[in-house]
Amino acid sequence: MSFQPVKFYQTGTFTVGNRLLPDAERSVQSTVRRHNSLNSGHRACQGCGEALGARYAIDAAMEATSGQLIAANATGCLEVFSTPYPETSWQIPWVHSLFGNTAAVATGIAAAMRVKGRSEVRVVAQGGDGGTTDIGFGCLSGMFERNDDVLYICYDNGGYMNTGVQRSSATPPAARTATTMAVGPTPGNPFGQGKDLPAIAMAHNIPYVATATVSELRDLEAKVRRAMEFRGARYLHILVPCPLGWGHDSALTIRMARLAHESGIFPVFEAESGEVTGASKIRRQVPVEEYLRPQKRYAHLFSPKPREDVIRRIQEAADKNIRKYGLLETTP
C-alpha cells in the first residue's frame, strides 16, 4: 500500500497526526501550514464529506506541487457551497465552467500551461459523481484517452445531492433517492449493472487510478502524492458520505466512509497503467448491515418488513469486492 503503518504508537498512523511521528511522516492535514485550499466559511451542510474530501485532496495536491496548482470544478454541491460571488472559499486559482465539461476545461488549462512552458503548474479537475459518471463522462473519457496531464478527482456521494438527492449512475442498488423512491415491490434504486468508473478509468490504461475515502486520510494523501508523481491522466475516486442524501447523523460522516471500506462495499485500491498494484486491507471486517442501518436511504430494508434478500444481495456484492481486490489480510 501507499504507506507503511507505523506500529507501536498509541494510534498507529490512523489518526490525522501523531506527535510521536517524525515530521515527514505526518499528514498534511495535521500541520498548521496546510493550505486550507478550501477555507472556512463555505456553505456546505453539517458534516459534509465532500468538503472534507476536497480539502484533503487539494491540500495534498498543493503540498505535492508546492502550491503550483489550478483547479477546474464541475457544477454541483462543491461548486455552489464554496463560492457564490463575492465570496470564495478557494485559496487556489479555480474555475467553474459547466456541469459536464470539467475534464475538458482542465485539458485546456493543462494545454495552456504546456504551451507557456509552465510545466510546474499542475491541473486538477474535480466534480461529484453526477458530473463524473454521468454528464461529464464523455469529456472525462476523452481526457483519459488523450492522456492529458490532469488529475481528475471524483467526489462520490452516490447521487445528485445539490439538486435534492436524485439518482445518478453511481447511486448504489436499493438506495432511496428522490427519483428512486422507497415505494412499490422493489423500493429504492434497482440493481443495475453498476458503472465502475475506476475500472473504466483503468481500461483507458492511464498511468494512475486510485480510490480512497475520507476515513483514511493518510491513504488519501499518499494517493494524491503518488498521483502527482505521474504526468498524464490520473483518476482519483473518493467516497464522500453525504449526511443529507444518505440520511445519517452528521457526526457519522467519517464513520460511514470507514464502514463502506470495512464492509467491502467500497474497495480502496490503486492501479498503475491499468493494473491493480495494491489494496487497502480491511482491518475489522463488518457485515454490510452495519453500514446500511444508520442510513435512512436504506431504511426500507429494515422496516416495516426486513428485506434480508436485498441485504444478502448487497453483501454478495461486497464479498465479491473482497475477493476481487483481496481486501482481507488472509486473502492471497
User: Which positions from 27 through 66 interact with another protein, judged by CB under 8 A?
Assistant: 27, 29-30, 32, 36, 39-42, 44-49, 51-52, 55
Task: Write the Ramachandran bin of 43: left for phi over 0, alpha for psi from -120 to 50, otherwise beta.
Answer: alpha
Q: How many residues bind another protein (CB under 8 A)?
A: 89
Q: In a 10 Å sphere around its CB, with 0-12 CB exposed, 13-18 middle and 19+ buried, how is residue 329 labelled?
A: exposed
- Name residues whose C-beta falls within 8 Å of residue 219's C-beta, 6 or more positions apart in sequence: 1, 2, 3, 212, 268, 280
In the list 57, 60, 217, 233, the residue contacting another protein (rule: CB under 8 A) is 217
Binding to another protein by CB under 8 A, coded x per residue (else -) over 70-89, reads: x-x------xx--xxxxxx-
CA distance 111 to 67: 19
- State which residue, 2 or 180, has the beta carbon closest to another protein: 2
104-163 positions binding another protein, by CB under 8 A: 104-117, 121, 138-139, 141-142, 145-146, 148
CA distance 263 to 296: 18
Q: Is 67 a residue that touches another protein (CB under 8 A)?
A: yes
Least distance (Å) between residue 275 CB and another protein:
25
The three cell numbers of residue 188 are 429504492
225-254 positions binding another protein, by CB under 8 A: 243, 249-254
Is-contact 25 13, C-beta < 8 A?
A: yes
Q: Is 183 a residue that touches another protein (CB under 8 A)?
A: no
Q: Which stretch binds another protein (CB under 8 A): 93-101, 155-163, 183-191, 265-273?
A: 93-101
Residue from 146, 168, 129, 141 nearest 50 by CA:
129
Q: Is 14 a residue that touches another protein (CB under 8 A)?
A: yes
CA distance 332 to 323: 9
Q: Is 284 a residue that touches another protein (CB under 8 A)?
A: yes
Q: Is 1 a residue that touches another protein (CB under 8 A)?
A: no
